[in-house]
Structures are given as structure tokens and as C-alpha cells.
Amino acid sequence: MKQYAQMSASELSALKNELEGAFSKYKESGRKLNTTRGVPSDEQLALCNEMLTCLSAEDYKSTNGTDCRNYGGLDGIPEVKKIFADLLDLTPDEVIVGGNSSLALMFDNVSVNVSHGVRDGKPWQSQGQVKFLCPSPGYDRHFTICNYFHIDMIPIAMGNDGPDMDIVEKLVASDPMIKGIWCVPKYSNPTGIVYSDETVKRFAKLKPAAEDFRIYWDNAYAFHGLGNSKEEIPNIIRLCEENGNPNMVYVFSSFSKVSFAGASVTCMASSKSNCEYIKKRLTAQTIGPDKLNQLRHARFFRDAAGVLAHMEKHAAILQPKFKLVTDTLKRELDGLGIAQWTNPSGGYFVSFDSLDGCAKRIVTLCADAGVALTPAGATYPNGIDPKDSNIRIAPTCPPLAELKDALEIFCLAVKLASAEKYLSA
């Protein structure tokens, strides 16, 4: 197979014609394939259908006697606090159980720090232009929160073991207006990489110029390994404690991709002292999250081991989809010098890098042929990928046959965009 860079103009032209011919057939077929979002499939959701009926007219009380139908309780019933605590290797008083959206927990947490300050500190908004470090490519909705609160975003390069910590350490230590950093430490969105032990340790040892600097540790894929050997990352809360930064990190976790994506339970974890502080705000903010839905989760999963066993069932469904993606990309694109991609061992995404300047074109070509992809640039702050090369592939939702179709179209689009690029160079 010849690398595109080594082809002559006439070879490229011939290739382009051939690709356009193949592509036009797809365009006419009227397909509608969607791989935009990291959404579980029907088959995955069905794994939990028992949760729809697992309570009864006699079963609505928590172990501590709380009637989960009634008012009361801001931070979760004991059963669910314990499940999260066990999964995250924490104590229940380091856990606050939330509603069905961990995004809402993060939004609220940023909101209150902007308006009221971190604990008894000055509100971020009264200190000047707030900045967050944003390892990129990253999760678009983290960046949306920053946008909403007019927080400047500083992109940080992502490597195979996490963000570029030399830069992170330097910036955090020197600029007191840097108040936060977004992290997805395990099976990162979208690259799928897992932070190395060394990276996690360096996070815990940060010496921020801002006393009110906080790490937003979105452990959204904490239990979402695909392979046989599950990855583990060090306990950031314990490490922060040991390094004299006990209150520096907020951990977020969620069962969105464990039980029902739209009707799960979530949690926030931090030092006991941070949790106590946060609960005071919750008293003003809410009557507390839905305890019946917590009880459903407790009944269905029983304990942390039950959650982990359940995740094996998800992995069994997802593994073939991820394999199809990486196999197809390898078969179609390997050796052409026009693409790179990740081979994640967990999470919900494959991160794809085209030749510089081709990502938007690829997404447009796919859209023309009925395949919806995550918009190019979405994985970067303000939607701007400086190289216009990153595309997030979300293989979890479509059935295998549809995914196969979508990937064939995608690979054609990559080839066509690459040929166009070399021809116009």
C-alpha cells in the first residue's frame, strides 16, 4: 500500500475519482446513521430492565429506616453511599450522592465557586478573569460549562499517560487566576487513555498559586474497562490528603453508563470537610435527590461487586463494537500515512486524528452520506481544534451492522479528504 504523500498528482487524481465514485453510491442510499454521542445501546439498557420493577408496595425503605418515598436526606441513602464509597475506595462520609446527572453536579459546583467562592474564600467572579486548564481533546460539555460562566480555557496537550504535567505544574504554580482543571482520568473522553500513576501523583502534589484552585476529576468511566485486565488508577483523594492538599480535588462519578443513562444515580466525592461544606449549600438548593431511584440501584446491584459484575455484561456488548472500529480503521487506513487513532481499553470513544485540516471536511462528507459524527472541533475548548484533525468516534449505540456501514463510509471519507488535501497542496 502506497502512502498518499508519495503519490503523484495523477495517481491522486485517479484515486480521488475512484473514491468519489464509491462515495456517490452511499450518498444515494439515503442512510441515516448516528455515531455522534456516547450513548448506550438498547441492548445495554436492557441489562437493567429488572430495575424498572425491583421495588414493590412493601419495599421502599432504606436500611436506616428512611421512607424513600418521603422528603428528607440530602446526600444519599446509606446503601448507595456505601456502593460508591467501596467502588472509589473512600468512606461514605466522603461521598455525596446526587440525582441522575453528574453534569449537573459539576455545573453546580462551578456555579457556586464562581458566585460564592471555594469554601470561605472570595468568589471567583470577584477576583478577575478566571481560567481553567482544559486537557484537549476533552469532553465538550466540560468546556460548555466554562463558556457558560465566562471562564477562559487554556488547552493542555494530552499524551498517552495524561495531560502534559510539566505545563500543568508550571501554569498552576504561577497564575493565581487558574482556578481549575478538567480531568477524565480513566478511559479519557475522547482518547480513551488512562492517566499513569505518575500523572495522578503529580496532580496530588500540585502547588497552586491560587489557594482556591480545584481539580475537577470526572471519573465518568471508572468501571468501564473493556478488556480482561482492568486498569486501575491511584486514589486521588488519598494522595491529595497525603500531600497536604486535602481539599483540592472534587471527584465525580456516575452510573449513567452502568444502569440507565437518563435515570441513574451519580455522586460527588471529596474530603469529608468539603462534603460537610457542600451539604450546607444543598440545604438551600434542593429537597435532595430521588431516594427511590437510589433504592432501585441498591436492590438491583446489591453492592460494589454487583456493579463490577454488571459492567462485565456491558463490556461483552461493547468489545465487538470497539474491535470493529479498530479493525476497520486498521484494514482501510493503516500504512497510508493519513490517519492515527487510539485503541482504548475502556470508555466510550475512539479518538481519530486525520491529516491536519481534514477533520471538518471528513465530517461534512460523512454527513452527506447520511452518517452523523460528533462535530469536528467539539473536543476542543470553544469548539476550535487548532489542527482541525481530531474526530471522536462513538461506537456504542448503533447495532454492529449499522456501525460497520458507518465505518466504511467514514474510511472512504477519510481517504477522499486526504486525497483532496494532497491534490490542493
Footprint on this chain of its own copies (rule: CB under 8 A): 37, 39-40, 42, 45-46, 48-50, 52-53, 55-57, 59-60, 67-73, 99-101, 103-104, 107, 111, 114-115, 125, 141, 144-145, 147-149, 256, 260-263, 281, 283-293
Q: Where are the beta strands (DSSP E) in 4-147?
A: 33-35, 95-98, 131-136
Instruction: Tell me the closest approach of the beta carbon of residue 250 to its own copies, in angstroms.
Output: 17
Instruction: Tell me the closest approach of the beta carbon of residue 104 to its own copies, in angstroms.
Output: 4
Q: Which grid cell is 387?
A: 489542527
**3-class DSSP state for residue 202?**
helix
Our CA angle for 364, 10, 414, nearest 5°, is 25
Our CA angle for 270, 275, 276, nearest 5°, is 150
Question: Nearer to its own copies by C-beta: 105 or 409?
Answer: 105
Distance CA 395, CA 360 (A): 19
* Residues whose CB falls within 8 Å of the CB of residue 134, separated by 6 or more in sequence, listed in order: 142, 143, 146, 153, 154, 155, 156, 181, 182, 381
Q: Which grid cell is 100?
A: 441522575
Question: Nearer to its own copies by C-beta: 296 or 421?
Answer: 296
Question: Nearer to its own copies by C-beta: 5 or 104?
Answer: 104
Instruction: Tell me the closest approach of the beta carbon of residue 311 to its own copies, in angstroms.
Output: 17
Residue 302: CA count within 13 A, CB half-sphere: 5
* Residues whose CB falls within 8 Å of the CB of residue 330, separated by 6 or more in sequence, listed in order: none
Question: Nearer to its own copies by C-beta: 6 or 56?
Answer: 56
Contact criterion met (CB below 8 Å) for 191 and 156: no
Strand partners, 346: 225
What is the strand order of the sheet 214-218 is part of?
95-98, 266-269, 249-254, 214-218, 178-183, 131-136, 152-159, 162-163
DSSP per-residue codes, 275-342: HHHHHHHHHHH-S---HHHHHHHHHHH-SHHHHHHHHHHHHHHHHHHHHHHHHHHHHHHTTSSSEEE-
Which helix H or strand E contains 411, and what residues bound it? helix 400-424
Question: Nearer to its own copies by C-beta: 286 or 343?
Answer: 286
Instruction: Tell me the closest approach of the beta carbon of residue 114 to its own copies, in angstroms.
Output: 7
Question: Nearer to its own copies by C-beta: 29 or 286?
Answer: 286
Residue position matching grid coordinates 461483552: 316
Question: Nearer to its own copies by C-beta: 101 or 235?
Answer: 101
Instruction: Tell me the closest approach of the beta carbon of residue 149 to its own copies, in angstroms.
Output: 8
* Residues whose CB falls within 8 Å of the CB of residue 190, separated by 6 or more in sequence, listed in order: 137, 138, 139, 349, 350, 351, 379, 390, 392
Instruction: Tell me the closest approach of the beta carbon of residue 321 to its own copies, in angstroms.
Output: 16
Instruction: Tell me the closest approach of the beta carbon of residue 205 to its own copies, in angstroms.
Output: 32
Question: Nearer to its own copies by C-beta: 199 or 374?
Answer: 374
Contact criterion met (CB below 8 Å) for 358 and 388: yes
Question: Nearer to its own copies by C-beta: 59 or 197?
Answer: 59
Question: Nearer to its own copies by C-beta: 354 or 374?
Answer: 374
* Residues whose CB falls within 8 Å of the CB of residue 208, separated by 6 or more in sequence, listed in order: 172, 173, 176, 178, 248
